[in-house]
Structure formats: C-alpha cells, structure tokens
C-alpha cells in the first residue's frame, strides 16, 4: 500500500469537501508532537490559506493590544512591556486560552478586567481550535507561527509569556510545568513563583522538545530577543478548573477555582519581577 502523509490525506479531504462532499473531522488524528513533525500545516499562513472561509467555525483568533498614544516628539515613545500568548488554544491544548486571559488580567467568562493582585493588564494573543473533535490537526508548531498580528505584537513587546500544553510523558512527570524560553531571568522568576505557589516546575533545558529556545518561536521574537514559555501537563491543566469539560465550562469556572487563581497569580508575580528589572527601562 502506498504511504500517504497526514498532510496529503488532509489536502485530499479538503478537496473532497470543496467538491461538495461532507468532510468528517477528527477521524484517525493523533496529537501533534511538540517538535511539529506531525503538523498538517507548514505555518499559520498555510493553515489560513487551506481553511479559507472557516475562521470562526473551525478556528479563531483573539487578541487585545492596549491603546498607546504619543503626540509629543520631545519625549520617549511608550512601548508594550509584556504580551501573553496561547498559540494552541481552544480545543488544541485545552485550558491555555483561559490561562492566557487570566494571566493577562481578564476573566475568561466575560473578558472583564480581573486583577485580584491589583496589578495592571497585559496584551494577549491566541489561536484557538473550535472543532467539536479533532482539534489537534490545527496545531502549528511554535517556530512556524507566522501570524502577522502575533509576530507584530511580540516584536513590539519587551517580553512574551507563551502558554502551551504537553502530555505527562513528554514532561517526564505528572502535575508539572516545563519552564522554557531564552530569557534566563524570566525563567528563574517563573520557577520561583510557581514553586512558591505549590506547583512542580521542570527546567526546559532538560526537555529539548519543550524548551522554547528556537529563535523564531514568538516567545523569543521580542524587542529583547528573548522570552518565556510554559508547557503545562494535561493533568495539571485539568486541575486548574472547577469544570474542565467544555470551553464554556472552563471559562465559567476559571476565576472561582483556587488553583487557577494560584497559578495565574504566580505567573503575574514573575512578570512583575521581570518588568522591574533595569533592562526593562532601556527603551
């Protein structure tokens, strides 16, 4: 039997659907590897091209860039400090969309400002799988993310914290967070704050597929050329919600769950420590 790649199978299926035959989604799909070798799409642009007209049904994008204004040429132009990202949100790496919003300072259920620590809100960007099943096919590995809004937001921010989900066997532990990215200080603060909040952390340098060190990964496409990434195991993500069963249920129960509050609060404290550093004032 002639071997066909997953990408070839999908392309054929899409062509069939375009011809008027129903496309059954999610059949025979396995989870995409962190390294991206099983991705259907070469990039976000490739995905947007092949799934033209399906945004809002099969996938979605949400982001918020807070307005800045500088009308005085004699002063220093303002800049965005930190952007929170979930490149594989919705049904792809479940729970990361809600965590992205929570860390950014927004309640996932209604997008109202939610900052129990009294801190400020952050910019955010996310790509979400919206299929009822088979969302793993929408995974585009981070180093191949070329969404123009995501890249522009990263490039105009001093820091990015990118949130991902991984399996326990990938992390080599249960109920854990793999801390990666190229910003060594940010990694230290994330380790410190998450551990102080009672979460087990693993150094990304011991998990190459989860390390977040590729220079084209949006977490490292910042103004400083470095950022942070969290790979959160499935069992830990499940524990952070009062009800993990569906997107509405996760959004509804997120901020009332003590573990969600502890996790997002720890990440926000790490961001605050990073933003207080001297190199955050240079631009």
Q: pLDDT (tens digit, 9 = 90+) per residue, 58-69?
A: 999 999 999 887
DSSP string for 101-114: HHHHTB-TTT--B-
In 3-state terms, what secondary structure has residue 276?
coil
The pTM (predicted TM-score) of the whole model is 0.86
16 or 58, higher pLDDT:
58
Produce one character per residue of 45-59: b if its CB has 16 or more CB atoms within 10 Å, e if not: ebbbeebeebeeebb
d(CA 205, CA 109): 35
d(CA 106, CA 201): 24
Express each pLDDT in 181-214 by its tens digit: 999 999 999 999 999 999 999 999 999 999 999 9
Provide the percentage of residues in the chain whose pLDDT is more than 90. 79
For residue 55, the 8-state DSSP code is: B
The residue with tokens 């930190």 is 82
Q: In which band, very low, low, confident or very high, does the pLDDT at 152 lie, cut at 50, 70 and 90?
A: very high
């Amino acid at each position: 039997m002639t071997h066909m790649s997953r990408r070839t199978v999908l392309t054929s299926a899409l062509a069939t659907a375009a011809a008027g035959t129903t496309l059954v989604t999610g059949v025979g799909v396995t989870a995409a590897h962190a390294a991206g070798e099983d991705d259907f799409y070469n990039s976000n642009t490739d995905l947007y091209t092949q799934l033209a007209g399906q945004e809002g049904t099969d996938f979605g994008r949400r982001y918020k860039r807070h307005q800045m204004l500088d009308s005085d040429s004699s002063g220093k132009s303002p800049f965005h400090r930190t952007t929170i990202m979930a490149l594989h949100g919705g049904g792809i790496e479940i729970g990361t969309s809600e965590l992205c919003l929570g860390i950014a300072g927004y309640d996932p259920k209604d997008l109202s400002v939610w900052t129990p620590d009294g801190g400020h809100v952050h910019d955010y960007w996310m790509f979400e799988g919206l299929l009822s099943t088979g969302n793993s096919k929408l995974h585009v590995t981070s180093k191949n993310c070329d969404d123009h809004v995501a890249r522009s937001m990263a490039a105009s921010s001093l820091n990015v914290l990118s949130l991902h989900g991984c399996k326990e066997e990938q992390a080599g532990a249960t109920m854990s967070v793999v801390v990666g990215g190229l910003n060594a200080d940010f990694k230290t603060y994330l380790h410190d704050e998450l551990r102080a909040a009672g979460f087990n952390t693993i150094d990304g340098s011991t998990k190459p597929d989860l390390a977040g060190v590729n220079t084209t990964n949006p977490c490292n496409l910042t103004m400083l050329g470095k950022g942070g990434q969290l790979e959160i195991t499935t069992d830990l993500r499940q524990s952070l919600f009062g009800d993990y069963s569906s997107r509405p249920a996760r959004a509804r129960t997120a901020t009332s769950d003590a573990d969600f509050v502890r996790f997002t609060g720890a990440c926000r404290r790490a961001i605050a420590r990073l933003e207080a550093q001297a190199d955050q004032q240079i631009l």
